[in-house]
Amino acid sequence: MVLETPLLRVSRPVAACSRCRSAKIKCDGKLPACTACERSGKQAECSSTSDQFARGKERSYVATLETRIEKLERRLQEAQHRKASLVPVNEHDGAVQKHVPSQGLTRTSKRLEAQEIDDLVSDFGYLTVNATARDFYGFTSSMSYARMVLSACTKDSLPTGFVTPLPPRNEAIITIRHYFENFFVMYPFFEESSFYASLDAVYNSESSRVSTASPFDHFSVRLVLAIAHSGRMEQRGDGNYMAAIGHVSAALVHAEHVLRPGSIASVQAMLLLHEYSMIDPHHFDSWGLIGAASRAMVDLGLHQDPPRSASISRAKLELRRRVFWCVYGFDRSTSLIQSRAFSFSDDSASVALPFSTAQTLVSPEAKDSNHILFKSFGSAIDLFNLRRIQSDWYTELFQSGRIPLSDPYPIIWRSCEAMRNWFAGLSPSMSAEVRTFFELNLLYSYIYILAASPRMPFVAPFAQSLIFEYCIQYAEKMTSHANERVKTAPLSFYDAMRVYMTGRQFIEVLQGNEDRLLSGIIPDPPFVPVDSAPPPPAPQTPKDFQKNLARSITCIKRLTDCLGLFGLRWGYMSWRDRFQRDSENLLSSLN
């Protein structure tokens, strides 16, 4: 068919074929033979099949490209030969001035080459992220990076048109101080000075006609106020809850200008939303938000410290490290709670811990100061170190396949020892409330790692005794911590999930092992090689059956009360009702 054999023409023939030139007639340049040669039956003699024209003057487009490639290859070979024939400067006998050593030249060339590769990879990563940005589709499109993130991470819609007005500045300072003293000390992913500059810009814009506050200033101030109000609420629907909802609605007005790829501020904004979602689980999905923040962080290269040769200010390097470790801590905590895979592996990251020694220690004069700039970041470093230990054993036992280990307890005892040493190394000047917060995380980690898992389907009797005691200790400390009127360490919906998981493990370990566990007899730990870490110390369990029976009943009631308290606060009473149904048969047998 005609369509299957299209005519091959050139837009401007370089020269006519030999027959047309000698006959002085017009040559249309059709390939493989012109029309005049076809009509006369001289297709084979048409100069298009000969090599009469000079190289580079062919009428074939493909042949022209091939010739161009050959020329470029020859030029490349000539350049390589010239480079190889150059005499190094330090080998020139007649040199008079000082010369740079060849090792320095090699090091410089390697650094320049590595920098070019990094720039190229960064450009590719930015193009990949920017494919979902407004610039890709144009400003008239309804699709944007912010809308994509929010649509994927929103559960229940916020009330339409409900916005909380900014409180007076003195009231805002009190509310913001609650955030810094309870949340920021654990996850300091922005600088205090920059936040207070944003606060000044927002309130100056309210009192003057000229707005000096950026969208990120409004977004960060509103989200911090929302998190602080949510942290002080007693039950869902109270005044603090409604104030938080209004501040979040006001913050999301600026989402289009804040949630944009290619900036650290966008990662910080998603971390603020994630932090809020941990306290208000109804409106945002914490897993989706930390996943988006992790991917944006990796695309920016924050998961790797820049090379020492890179010129970067100390403040910028410190901010990069802050953001990375806060993303790391949130991601590890969320993955453990929801039994999901990490957003990125430990092997892919190489970032030093933030803060200098002076910032992790607090002086006696600053200890009682209300100014947040004098607060210590030691608690944040301690939390990051715990998340790193948790990440190690979670990867080994839960993310490295489902084939059972032949001997899992050397790994478990090593991880338990690392967490014991971590807790023993906490600062003695740490407040009792923060220490309780860390101890609850430690007990929960013990229960998590000792419980049955795909790689350890059978729990040894000694490990069952440890779970039994750790659950009782966890229930006692969590009940006291949750009922404190003055919250001095962050409580979130994750704590409700931890309580439910602890209760489930307590029921599972007690069912079928009541007589042995309630007797108080501790079995011998499983055998491990001599060079392995020692097992955790045997718990001090009373050898009284009735006393252990009463302790078990009290533990179940405390866990039920905690779930009821958290259910009232976050609106998830179904967790308490489900646990009551799960423990009903066990309580009947214990009573």
The secondary structure of 377-408 as a DSSP string is: -HHHHHHHHHHHHHHHHHHHHHSS-SSPPSS-
Model confidence at 447, pLDDT cuts 50, 70, 90, reads very high
Q: Residue 526: is the preceding peptide bond cis (ω within 30°)?
A: no
Residue 68 buriedness (CB in 10 A; 0-12 / 13-18 / 19+): exposed
Confidence of residue 143 (pLDDT cuts 50, 70, 90): confident
How far, in Å, CA of 34 to CA of 48, rounded? 8
Place of tokens 């009631």: 557
Of 179, 149, 260, 167, residue with least CA distance to 215: 260
- pLDDT of 106 reads 65
Cα–Cα nearest to 278, from 492, 573, 487, 441: 492
Q: Is 316 exposed, middle or buried (0-12, 13-18, 19+ CB in 10 A)?
A: exposed
Please, which residues have CB within 8 angstroms of residue 196's CB and are 6 or more apart in sequence?
Answer: none
Higher-confidence residue: 293 or 14? 293
Is pLDDT above 50 for 69?
yes
User: Which of 263, 379, 366 lies closest to 326 in space, CA to CA?
Assistant: 379
Task: Let me know how long the chain is.
Answer: 591
Confidence band for 42, pLDDT divided at 50, 70 and 90: confident
Residue 198, φ and ψ in degrees, nearest 5 = -65, -40
Looking at the chain, the number of H-run helices and the number of E-run strands are: 24, 0
What angle separates helix 215-232 from helix 264-277, to the nearest 10 degrees? 20
| Beta-bridge partner residues of 101 | none
Per-residue pLDDT averaged across 31-58, rounded? Answer: 67
pLDDT reading at 197 higher than 70: yes
Dig out the tokens for 55 from the structure.
């190289």
pLDDT at 81: 73
368 Cβ contact partners less than 8 Å away, ≥ 6 residues apart: none
**Residue 123 in this model has a pLDDT that exceeds 90:** no
The amino acid at 432 = A
Q: How far apart are the first and last CA of the chain?
A: 91
Cα→Cα distances 484→144, 238, 261, 429, 436, Å: 43, 18, 41, 21, 12
Q: Give me the residue label for tokens 């350049």.
A: 79
Q: Lowest-confidence range among 109-123, 133-147, 452-466, 490-504? A: 133-147
Across 221-250, b (16+ Cβ under 10 Å) vs e yields bbbbbbbbbbbbbeebeeebbbbbbbbbbb
Backbone dihedral region for residue 142 (phi beyond 0: left; psi -120 to 50: alpha; all else: beta): alpha
φ/ψ of 284, rounded to 5, equals -135, 150
pTM: 0.75
Spatial contact of 348 and 303, defined as CB atoms under 8 Å apart: yes
CA distance linking residue 520 with residue 465, whole number of Å: 9
Looking at residue 121, its pLDDT comes to 61
Helix (H, G, I), strand (E, B) or coil at 511: coil
